[in-house]
Structure 1
Amino acid sequence: MPHPSIPPPNPIEEQLKALFWRFDKNKDGRLSKQEIEAALKELGGIIPGYRANRGLKHADNNGDGYISDGEVDELVKYAIKWGKDCKKLGHDQKGTEEQLKGLFWRFDKNRDGRLNKEELKAAFKELGAIFPGFRAYRGLHHADDNGDGYISDEEVDKLVKYTLQIGYKVN
């Protein structure tokens, strides 16, 4: 059991940290600007080169031009803070479930009655997500009950619930 004064790890922070380290291609234990940019592209971020540069400036405490293990937490905090600057709902507004369902199904490009990660990514981009790839991944995690990597008609209600819970709406 964790010590009461130490907060439990935030699962989103842990997932982002793991994603960033996946892009340490040369396995030197440091993230270069190019590796950070590649991670941000994977997340579907807008202008990933600029954001990688800003993240590096924000988190590179020793000024060596890389993010080390001791600095990655600051990079993750920056990414989360920046990622919240997207079109979000106020607590008093909600897009209807039917509107969101309609939006998601509009992105079923191959008309197979299932939404894959790329289709979800496009839908979350339409909703204004800064990291639509990350939102698609999380949406699958929340709603893909049978683990097949797709959102079916039976699972779309859970996806809509997740989408409303994190504050998106149809404009």
Structure 2
Amino acid sequence: MAFKTNHNISDDGRREFTVKEFKRWLMRFDTDKDGRISKSELRQIVRATGGWFSRWKGRAGMKSVDKNGNGFVDECEIENLINFAQKELGIRIIAY
């Protein structure tokens, strides 16, 4: 499956991912390749899903997701990001 970063999640318009697919999709936005998602990278994710107010949602998302307060979404905080994506971005994450 090929992904693109404009107003659809994937070429076929799917907004449903497994956890593994979602993590792989997220890493496409990790522009500095440090294995973490920054606030600006989260803004790009919001924009890619067609979300409005990406600056505000990115800031609010980071506040709700970044539990250790280091300014990044680390591997240990991915579950928080999954919850944010489902609630605020309209992405459905399935178990298998």
Assess same fold via TM > 0.5: yes
1:119 to partner: Cα distance:
0.6
Structure that is richer in strand per residue: 2
Structure 1 residue identity aligned to 2:27: W
Q: Which residue in 2 is equivalent to 1:137?
A: 59
Structure 2 residue identity aligned to 1:149: G
Q: Which runs of 4+ in 1 moved over 3 A?
A: none
Q: 1:112 to 1:132 in 2, by over 3 A?
A: same
1:138 to partner: Cα distance:
1.5
1:101 to partner: Cα distance:
2.5
Q: Is this contact kept in 2: 1:115–1:151, CA < 8 A? A: yes
Instruction: Measure the CA separation in 1 of the matches of 2:53 and 2:31.
Output: 21
TM-score if structure 1 supplies the norm length? 0.42
SS at match of 1:128: coil
1:168 and 2:93 matched: no
Consecutive unaligned residues in structure 1, runs of 5 or more: 1-85, 88-92
Instruction: Measure the CA separation in 2 of the matches of 1:140 and 1:97.
Output: 22
Instruction: Measure the CA separation in 2 of the matches of 1:128 and 1:134.
Output: 14
1:104 and 2:26 matched: yes
Aligned residues: 80
For the aligned residue pairs, the C-alpha RMSD in angstroms reads 2.4
Instruction: Measure the CA separation in 2 of the matches of 1:114 and 1:139.
Output: 14
Q: 1:149 to 1:97 in 2, by over 3 A?
A: farther
TM-score if structure 2 supplies the norm length? 0.70
Structure with higher RCO (Cα < 8 A, 6+ apart): 2
Q: Deviations over 1:92-123 (max 9, x none)?
A: x9623523322222100111011111111111
Q: Which residue in 1 is equivalent to 2:11?
A: none
Q: Which residue in 1 is equivalent to 2:3?
A: none
SS at match of 2:31: coil
Structure 2 residue identity aligned to 1:160: I
Q: 1:145 to 1:97 in 2, by over 3 A?
A: farther
Instruction: Measure the CA separation in 2 of the matches of 1:97 and 1:142.
Output: 22
Q: 1:154 to 1:125 in 2, by over 3 A?
A: same
Which structure has the bigger radius of gyration? Answer: 1
Structure 1 residue identity aligned to 2:65: A
Q: Deviations over 1:48-98 (max 9, x none)?
A: xxxxxxxxxxxxxxxxxxxxxxxxxxxxxxxxxxxxxx98xxxxx962352
